[in-house]
Amino acid sequence: MSNRVPLRRRRRTKIIATLGPASSSPEVIERLFRAGADVFRLNFSHGSHEDHAARIATIRALEEKVGRPIGILADVQGPKLRVGKFQAGRVQLQTGQSFRLDLSPTPGDVRRVQLPHPEIIAAAGIGTTLLLDDGKLRLRVTRKREDHLETEVVVGGPLSDRKGVNVPDVVLPIPALTEKDRIDLDFVLAQGVEYIGLSFVQRPEDVVEAKAIAAGRAWIMVKMEKPQAVENLDAILAEADCVMVARGDLGVECPPEEVPLIQKQIVRAAKALGKPVVVATQMLESMITAPSPTRAEAQDVATAVFDGADCVMLSAETAAGQFPFEAVNIMDRIIARVESDPDWRKLTDANRPAPEPNSASAIAAAARQVAQTIGAEAIATFTSTGSTMLRVARERPSCPILGLTASMQTARRMAVVWGVHPVTTVELHSMTDMVAKAIRAASQEGFATSGDEVVVTAGVPFGTPGTTNALRVAIVK
C-alpha cells in the first residue's frame, strides 16, 4: 500500500452512502467511494444475507485496491409496528368517524382492522394518539378494552394493508431488538462490520442489550427516532458509541417544527461527549429522481455541517435513486464549500466544548492549540482503540487529523469521525519511533512536505488504551 497514490478528502465532515439496487455493483460502489463516500450503509430492512455478504466482500476488495480504510454500517430493522390486512386491500377513513383496532386476524373493513400488537393496546390510554402510514392518518383513543381500542379518526384518508403504526405519546414495552435483528446481528458481527445501527431505541437499557451482544466487536450507533429517546438523551448517549439523528421517524412522531431543534440538541450533546454524530434522512431527497438538489436541500446539508455533525448520510438517494454518484458528488461539494468559509471556522471555534478534566483531554486541547499557533499541517495521533482520535476530533482543530493505528478495526471505525484521516501502521516501540512514523505518514499521505511541522500525540506506555499523555512537535525532513 505504501506505493499507492495518496487518496485524501479535502473536507472534515464525512459521508455515509446507503447501498441498494441502484448501487450494488463493484463499479458503482467504487465510483461512490471516489466521489466522496467514507462509509457504506447496509439496510437490513431489505435484502438477504447473501446480498449483504456480497456487498461487504465488494467493499473489502475496494478497500484493498485503494489502500484506504472504509467503514461499514449495518442498520438492523428493529420492530415494525403495522396494522393487519383489509378485505378489499384498502379503505377510506373519514375524519370524525369511529374506528376499532383489535387483535382479531379477520381482514378489516371501514369500521375496524387488526392491530397485531397487544403491547400497544396495553400501553395506550384514553387520549393516546396513534399515527398510521407515516403520520398521514391520525387517530385518538376514545375507549380501551383488554383486546381492542376504540378510536376517533382525527385526520382521515386512505389506509391499506400492513401500513405502519407510530405511538408517540407512550413508552412501549417492546424491545429494540427483534428475533430477526438478533439473527442479523450474528451475521454482521461475524462479517466484521464497524457499526451497528440500532433502531427503535427508547431507553438506555436498549443500548446496553445491543452492546452486550456486540461485545466490543462493533460500535453501537443509536438511531434517535422516538420522542422517548430524546427525553432520555443523556442516559442513552452515555451508553452509545455513536448516534444518528434519524429524522424520518422522528419527523413522524414529533411535530415538524420541533425536529430542527431536536437535531441541534442531539448534535450538541454528542459533540460535548466527543461521540460521533450522524445527521440522516431526506438530505437530498429530490435527487432520487433529479440530477441536482433543491436549494433547500443544499441548505439542509450545510446546516448539519455548520452545526458540527461528524457525518451526513444519504439513504434512498444512493440505494434506489437514479443519480447515486451525483448525490454523493454534490454532497461532497457542499461540505467542502461550507468548510472553506471563514464563518464556518469562526462558528466551529465558538462552539468548541470545554476540555474534560483529565490529562488525555488536556493533551488533545493542547495539541489543537499548538497546531493552530505554529500553523502545523496536521495533528498525528497514535491510538489502539480510537479514543485519542475521538478526543482530538472533539477539539475540531483547523488542521487535518492523521489517525495512526496498528488496528485495521480502529482505522475503519474512524471513517465516521470528523476530520480524521485513518492510516494503519505498525506498533510503536519508542518516542523516537513515534515521531519518525508520524513524519513518514504525514509525507506519504500528502499532508506535509519538507520543512512542515506536525503535532504528534500518543499514550505512554504505548499500546495501553486511554493513556494519551505525550505531545511532540516534529519537522518533516
Grid-cell match 397487544, residue found = 118
CB 23 within 8 A of CB 29: yes
Across the strands, what pairs with 328? none
Q: Which amino acid is at 275?
A: K
- Residue from 34, 80, 82, 85 carrying the catalytic annotation: 82
Active-site residue among 55, 68, 112, 223?
223
Catalytic residue, from 18, 128, 151, 281: name it: 281
Cell 428475533 sits on residue = 179
The type of residue at 144 is K
CA-CA-CA-CA torsion sign (325, 326, 327, 328): positive
DSSP assignment of 203-255, as one string?
A: SHHHHHHHHHHHTTSSEEEEEE-SHHHHHTHHHHHHH-SEEEEEHHHHHHHS-
223 has catalytic annotation: yes
Query: CA separation (Å) from 344 to 260, 336, 337?
Result: 19, 11, 10
Query: What DSSP string describes 35-90?
Result: HT--EEEEETTSS-HHHHHHHHHHHHHHHHHHT---EEEEE------B---BTTSE
Whether 58 is catalytic: no
Three cell numbers written together for 434: 513515534
Q: Which of 12, 14, 41, 275 is catalytic?
A: 41
11 flagged as catalytic: no
For residues 194 and 135, give the distance between their C-alpha atoms in angstroms, rounded to a whole number: 33
For the question of residue 14 being annotated catalytic, the response is no
Active site amino acids: 41, 82, 223, 281
